[in-house]
């Protein structure tokens, strides 16, 4: 981790402290590899202030923890392993434990290395799903009977599909790997409650899948998945949602704008803020329980 980024973290922590509230710093990663680590926005709430960073290389973790431990009240550690973290290479005792397979999560390391700040696990992907579901529910008023197309059926897209179909939405999914897509869709349809009449459907063609959708969601972790061909093919009153980053090509955005179509990018802000309140409340409940 270069000095410039470490300095930016220290500056961000000083900014958090200036609010005079409980300070929370999240450490997470994504499956989509980017050029380097970066900071997430400052989010100011009534009882706390939150910021964080995303990292993509295990070498960044040790120096990062050394600079934030004890300087913030709470550290949120990503419990989903998106990058290979080898405890032995990071010089942590977890590598010596016989039940460890060599690769660990950010949380494994944080709970061992952090000595002063409080550490809590969190699952950023699940928070992203919750934020997207809440946005769609409020934007559409209700989800029952809505035709929703999700392009990209990875961890986030498939979880969102399950939440939507459970609300009675008609959900279709497109995944480039059709064989894996079949396995995912079959599994989701087995998991959903039997009383739900609708099923999740898999399509082998993205344009066909999205053609009659009320909502088109880009949930790809790789290259942009919503292009000009898809935008030209969807209904012009279709709501387009970028669930992540850069799911639309530049031409797709240009054409959608010409058609005056609504494009949104859902943000994790409401879900991560409510999650912090949830963990603080849970902490209070556990304190009471321990005194009974």
**What pLDDT does residue 92 have?**
60
Query: What is the architecture, at CATH level 2, of domain 126-265?
Result: 3-Layer(aba) Sandwich (3.40)
Q: Rounded to an integer, what is the distance from CA 142 to the centroid of its chain?
A: 23
Q: Which long-range contacts (CB under 8 A, 24 or more apart) does 249-255 make?
A: 249/224, 251/227, 252/224, 252/226, 252/227, 252/228, 254/228, 255/228, 255/231
In the prediction, which pLDDT does 211 show?
92
Q: Please tell me the predicted confidence (pLDDT) of residue 273.
A: 93
Distance from chain centroid for Cα 144 = 24
Are 286 and 264 in contact by the 8 Å Cβ rule? The answer is no
pLDDT for res 165? 97
Please give the radius of gyration of the chain, using alpha carbons only, rounded to the nearest integer.
Answer: 21
Instruction: Report pLDDT for 95.
Output: 45
**CA atoms of 24 and 286, how far apart (whole Å):** 20
Digits of tens for pLDDT over the chain (292 positions)? 678 888 999 999 999 999 999 999 999 987 666 678 899 999 999 999 999 999 887 777 888 998 899 999 999 999 987 666 666 666 665 545 545 445 678 888 888 889 999 999 999 999 999 999 999 999 999 999 999 999 999 999 999 999 999 999 999 999 999 999 999 999 999 999 989 989 999 999 999 999 999 999 999 876 889 999 999 999 999 999 999 888 999 999 999 999 999 999 998 888 999 999 999 999 999 988 766 5
User: What pLDDT is attached to residue 34?
Assistant: 66
Delimit the CATH 3.40.50.720 region(s) of the chain: 126-265
Look at the block and give the residue holding tokens 């999205």: 210
């Amino acid at each position: 981790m270069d000095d410039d980024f470490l300095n930016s973290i220290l500056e961000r922590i000083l900014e958090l402290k200036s609010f005079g509230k409980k300070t929370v710093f999240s450490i997470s990663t994504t499956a989509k590899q980017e050029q380097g680590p970066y900071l997430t926005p400052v989010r100011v709430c009534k009882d706390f202030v939150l910021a964080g960073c995303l990292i993509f290389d295990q070498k960044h973790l040790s120096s990062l923890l050394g600079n934030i431990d004890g300087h913030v009240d709470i550290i949120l550690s990503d419990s989903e392993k998106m990058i290979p973290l080898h405890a032995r290479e990071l010089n942590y005792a977890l590598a010596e434990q016989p039940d460890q397979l060599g690769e660990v999560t950010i949380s494994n390391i944080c709970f061992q290395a952090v000595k002063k700040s409080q550490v809590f696990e969190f699952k950023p992907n699940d928070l992203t799903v919750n934020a997207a579901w809440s946005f769609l529910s409020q934007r559409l008023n209700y989800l029952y009977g809505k035709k929703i197309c999700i392009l990209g059926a990875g961890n986030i897209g498939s979880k969102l599909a399950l939440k939507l179909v459970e609300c009675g939405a008609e959900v279709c999914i497109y995944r480039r790997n059709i064989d894996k897509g079949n396995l995912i869709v079959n599994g989701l349809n087995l998991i959903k409650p039997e009383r739900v009449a609708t099923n999740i459907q898999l399509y082998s063609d993205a344009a066909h899948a999205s053609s009659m959708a009320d909502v088109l969601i880009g949930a790809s972790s790789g290259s942009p998945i919503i292009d000009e061909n898809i935008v030209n093919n969807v209904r012009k009153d279709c709501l387009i949602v970028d669930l992540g980053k850069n799911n639309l090509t530049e031409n797709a955005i240009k054409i959608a704008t010409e058609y005056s179509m609504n494009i949104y990018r859902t943000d994790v802000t409401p879900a991560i803020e409510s999650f912090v309140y949830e963990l603080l409340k849970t902490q209070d409940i556990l304190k009471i329980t321990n005194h009974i």
